[in-house]
Structure 1
């Protein structure tokens, strides 16, 4: 088939100049074609279409370098120009031509690749695509050295002799269109998410093997071949999600504003009359916010990793909005259980182990205490340090009468005006609140994704685990603190098992020897809003983090923003891809005694060994 349309030489020249500048390129070609090159890379994915398939195009758009073009256009000169520029840095160039299989019943990936030249690349493609049979039985991938490396009705991208002389490798991949009904064009949306995720990773792994074997340029990890720049749709979706989450202020609106007053009444009534908690008014319309939530075009996001993150966050926000609607009812608790989960057996086991090892509150002689003003003075010193690291953010300390204990709201440390705490716990609490919660918020603010400071789905669990580990590292994780975390788990389990507020309060006092005031605050937090299982995540997060560190996980990466332990691989990917910037670390990590304790964590510690 002879080509009758050429890309104008001026266009090619313009494209070459853009590539030379190593700036992201997104160039519209004739007949709805597009050339995208995110950064300097020795490969490109090509899809030549007769009629553009929007879903198949999305597969290629998961890559950092792709060319989607009308098959009537001759792209030979364009590809050669790209190859010449890339060869200035890399010794070779890989073009993967990808096209949909026209057979409606096909379940096979046909990989047409010169195995002797690129055996590791072929192996990566075959193994990667075969992973789909875990989701879709009968899917298979086959490698052939003899089949054409292009659609049968088209000419090769480059003839064989030219590719040999120029050091350019061509691989053809015929892809089964399993993700939609080819007769009706109906998309199987859930499977398509899996499909394009596998496709994205498989191509990157294959290209990585090609570069590793064929060139002297070393990429530390295949993830570095992914996109670095975030497109408009992704930024807008992220911004809209963050705005809804911020307006919602979920924790503030599910925390009683009169917990201190109700404690006094509860004590006066000899713990026989239920407290009556009051909450902040809800100044948003949850139904309207949900409508906005599902108008966000997350399905149009090309990056599978970021789409996964935003989709998970959207689901969390939807549930939290429903909980605000149901605040004060049993439904609040039931929706919360689907969001925060019920207690894992291992978490309950560890909680009981802590309370068995430490059956009573630890008392210390000559124990000095700080009031709210004294604690605020110490906290301000740490706040001042991080203000110097984040001069564009306003970090502050506020003493208020409408918060329970100590809590963080974005860059604000909020302290209850009636608080009294052990002076020996001062440093640990500051590192918990300021050097963990506020610091990760500030680090998140430096990132291009707003979810990095608003928090990924389920981010509380790791945040609290990380904050408690900070207490251990500075030598301030006391027996009483561990008992408190365990007591919260017991409180949540009691509520889930159907005990009343008063029954749970008495259980904590009599069976587990908590003081009446501490037992009240544990119970208040658990039963607030109608029942909130969130408080069990503190201990669960600590258990997860101990396991993560023992297995060699990076503590430093955990300060990049607010996310869950289940997202650590995604964070590492985005760091490798330079989508995210490395975080500012807490200054307490510079202390020698902290470094010694950190080594112990990496070796592995039992949870009761954390107590000081």
Structure 2
């Protein structure tokens, strides 16, 4: 039985919406009966959900798209959609309306696609293929295609007359979606499957619309991901902001690094390397349980963008595990939780570590006797900082020479240099490009992005960051045997610890079998055994190996400077770049050098890791 529409949308509201669309502004309009219209940018399609009783989860599925209308079925939307169609058709010549509604039969597992026979077959095929991919999670799913004029819910009138819509260049496709993500009897949500369901829906619709545009319009969209959302809503920004605040306040590495490592080195040496050091740590000035409560009060479940929700959820899990590690600091559980966070050493990584140490069994003696004091090094580093200060005028890139840092390190936009250290002159450029041209630059690029995670760092971002920094050293001709041996030695030490060796056995292994100096063997071991056992140091060589493989396969190096993330996130970063959620990165200027371009060509052809040494 068809219902009579009771409410009209005021013409002034429609006019305001049309003005926004025409001016290229995003639309977020509240309509009668709590209706919602969202149009992220000018697009030749809209997803429609008309409801008698709102299904909150179904509406969340529709909200994954960049253009949607969610509205009570007693509101007349004909005039609104016709007005939108006219504006859209001026640019795209055609318009696609995708109407979705939930299947009333709770036991149904079939997606019904109602569309005209032979019309837009690529679009329909993309819908069918996409929904069938859910069979990987729910094997009994079926997809049926019906050639019918009835492309709307049975109890409603059609949005437009089908014959009239054809004359106006409008295609209407209706889809009944089975509610597989809820228990039919208890109405309980299968939350993990729901995430898969709305992720698949999000991609499937974009792929289908892309096929429609490719065939039916003259507009050139390069990739289906360009049809995704560009603008980020307040719930997403809030979740991102609160997550970053918890992460910042935790200071995980600071609280898991000994404060007495220098003193214990002296004691260790005094005791002839026969007494396990006793490391002391900063007091933990936070309650991990309270921080976890705060963490899970962050409304990530309300983030409608599947890609960003995935990123935030991954970071939340990392923070939760790090908080647990702080609780377990000094116990064996610290190591076990860390293994679940940083993973176990892959066979390939261990083999490459041993390969490096076999090819370079001894420490390389410094060839050049010329050394820079901390002040001379700072002078060179300042020139690089000045260059990037011009590129990022809103950020203060600077350096400090001080006595409370070990060696050199980066804190956000600041380069910190120990006041007693000296540097091999031949390594100066490599160190600057490692710290400034990689770590500071990716932070600055991240600050340009709308998400704080882009500069605070995604889950596991250290792995790619360090791989990228080491590659920078190679590209500028400053990667040394000792640097490569150090990365390999860390993997050996982690493997030794995981296999049950204590601090002294691992120290002896590094010193006696792999010819590391006593001091280097101590510091490698200290980093690995701190807190109760930290396997994180193995990821640096893993990051280098993964990055070399990525470059060899033709991966876009410029995308890697967009912010701080892991190599597993590259597809997500590329998606957000396509969608223009993220802006393109400022690239390191060393990439312009001819010598760097030659070395990059060698990387693209593929090379043995030991040949990275310059």
What TM-score do you get using the length of structure 2 for normalisation?
A: 0.97
- Report if the CA contact (8 A) 2:368-2:425 is conserved: no
Answering whether residue 255 of structure 2 is matched by residue 244 of structure 1, we say: no
Q: Partner residue of 1:579?
A: 581
Distance 1:548 1:7 in 2: 53
- Which of the residues 171, 174, 178 maps onto 1:172? 174
Deviations 1:501-529 (A, max 9, x none): 11111100110111111111111111112
* Superposed CA offset, 1:413-464 (max 9, x none): 2233443442211211111111111111111111000000000001111111
Alignment of 1:117-132 (within 5 A): 117-132=119-134
| Alignment of structure 1 residues 68-87 onto 2, 5 Å | 68-87=70-89
| Contact kept in structure 1, 2:551 and 2:604, CA below 8 Å | yes
Q: What secondary structure, in the 3-state scheme, does the structure 2 residue paired with 1:156 have? A: coil
2: CA distance between counterparts of 1:275 and 1:400? 27
Q: Does 1:210 align with 2:240?
A: no
Summarize the Cα distance change of 1:365–1:303 in structure 2 as closer, same or farther, 3 Å threshold: closer
Unaligned runs of 5+ in 1: none
Residue 296 of structure 2 corresponds to which residue in structure 1? Answer: 294
Residue 280 of structure 1 and its aligned partner are, at CA, apart by 2.8
Counterpart position of 1:347: 349
CA positional deviation for 1:147: 6.2
CA distance in 1, matches of 2:487, 2:357: 10
User: Alpha-carbon deviation of 1:377?
Assistant: 3.0
Aligned residue for 1:358? 360
Residue 410 of structure 2: SS of its match in structure 1? strand
Contact 1:115–1:122 (8 Å) recurs in 2: no
Q: Is the 8 A contact 1:257 1:402 kept in 2?
A: no
CA distance in 2, matches of 1:140, 1:449: 38
Residue of 540, 544, 547 corresponding to 1:545? 547
Distance 1:273 1:115 in 2: 80
Once residues 429 and 539 of structure 1 are traced to their aligned partners in structure 2, the CA distance between those partners, rounded to angstroms, is 17
Distance, in Å, in 1 between the alignment partners of 2:19 and 2:368 is 74
The answer to whether residue 603 in structure 2 is matched with residue 605 in structure 1 is no
Q: CA deviation at 1:78?
A: 1.0
| Residue in 2 that maps onto 1:136 | 138
Query: 1:269, 1:387 → 2: CA distance?
Result: 49
Q: Which moved more, 1:291-300 or 1:368-377?
A: 368-377
Q: Provide TM-score, normalisation by structure 1.
A: 0.98
* Residues 307/404 of structure 1: CA separation in 2 closer, same or farther (3 Å cut): same
Tell me whether 1:493 sits opposite 2:504 in the alignment. Answer: no
Q: Which residue of 1 aligns with 2:263?
A: 261
**1:65 corresponding residue in structure 2:** 67
The gaps in structure 2 that reach 5 residues or longer are none
1:366 Cα deviation (Å)? Answer: 4.2
Correspondence for 1:46 among 45, 48, 56: 48
User: Would you say how many aligned residue pairs link Structure 1 and Structure 2?
Assistant: 612
The match for 2:22 among 20, 23, 30 is: 20
Distance in 2 between the 1:392 and 1:167 partners? 48
Deviating more after overlay: 191-200 vs 284-293:
284-293
Of the three residues 272, 277, 280, the one matched with 2:279 is 277
1:161 aligned residue: 163
Aligned equivalent of 1:225? 227
Residue 144 of structure 1 deviates from its aligned partner by: 2.0
CA distance in 2, matches of 1:324, 1:376: 35
Cα deviation digits, residues 207-263 of structure 1 (max 9, x gap): 000000000001011000000000010011100001111111212222223323322
Q: Distance in 1 between matches of 2:69 and 2:439?
A: 43
CA contact (8 A) 1:464 1:541 kept: yes
CA offset at residue 602 of structure 1?
A: 1.4
Instruction: Tell me, yes or no, if the aligned pair for 2:396 and 2:413 is still in contact at 8 Å.
Output: yes
Contact 1:259 1:404 in 2 (8 A): no
1:365-376 correspondence runs (5 A)? 365-376=367-378
- Cα distance in structure 1, aligned partners of 2:122 and 2:294: 46
What corresponds to 1:9 in structure 2? 11
Q: Give, in whole Å, the separation in 1 of the partners of 2:117 and 2:454.
A: 43
Q: CA RMSD in A?
A: 1.4
Matches within 5 A, 1:179-578: 179-578=181-580
- Three-state SS of the structure 2 residue aligned to 1:88 is helix
CA contact (8 A) 1:260 1:404 kept: no
| 1:308-346 Cα distance to aligned partner (Å, 9 max, x none) | 000000010111111122222222211111111111111
Structure 2: distance between partners of 1:607 and 1:144: 56
Distance 2:388 2:16 in 1: 45
* Structure 1 residues 562 and 365: CA distance shift in structure 2, 3 A: closer
Deviation of 1:371 (Å): 4.0
Deviation for aligned residue 1:399? 3.2
Cα deviation for residue 273 of structure 1 reads: 2.1
Q: CA deviation at 1:30?
A: 1.2
